[in-house]
Amino acid sequence: MKAQILNAFGSPQAFQLVDVPKPVPQAGQVLVRVHATSINPLDYQVRCGDYADLVPLPAITGHDVSGVVEAVGPGVTGFVPGDEVWYTPQIFEGAGSYAEYHVADERIVGRKPSTLSHLEAASLTLVGGTAWEALVVRAALRVGERILIHGGAGGVGHVAIQLGVISQGFYPVSTDTFK
């Protein structure tokens, strides 16, 4: 399979497209053919060397996956080949998403919503998870509560704003509703 390997920390030119062995799913894992991935500030920080002590080189980096299950390891019960999935690879634990295939533990993989393309789904896994963790898990935001979000222009911010809108009981509707 083809993968973008980070050979040194620094510029984007530090990546090299190479052939590497296709991973094989082990017990509890799924093998996903990556249809889309994205680039987040975390990816930039990893490439620049901000987490050099956590990323041994050479490395396959990347933190968003949208794709299709190609194979499952022993004991996997929630997915079968052909399922469309999305997830964030476990950060700083193994290979990332800048490759044709990725292996992940079944427990971190979710079914991709059919209303999202692979490109859309891959743009939401890390930022959506970050916003959810901050507002719903840690801040315990509930329906009816108000929240002020400063500088919500980035990836996490735009999702946080949408979660804040939902907490007010307002749900996005199609503009077709008003025609």
- Is the separation of the CB atoms in 174 and 149 below 8 Å? no
Q: Strand, coil or helix: what is 159? A: helix
Task: Name the nearest CA neighbour of 141 among 154, 128, 132.
Answer: 132
Domains of the chain (ranges; CATH) run 1-116 (3.90.180.10), 124-171 (no CATH)
Which phi and psi (to 5°) does residue 87 adopt? -175, 170
Q: 101 forms bridges with which residues in the sheet?
A: 33
Q: Read off the pTM.
A: 0.85
For 114-172, how does the pLDDT look when each residue is reduced to its tens digit (9 = 90+)?
999 999 999 999 999 988 888 888 988 888 777 888 888 888 888 888 887 776 665 54
- Looking at residue 127, its amino acid is V
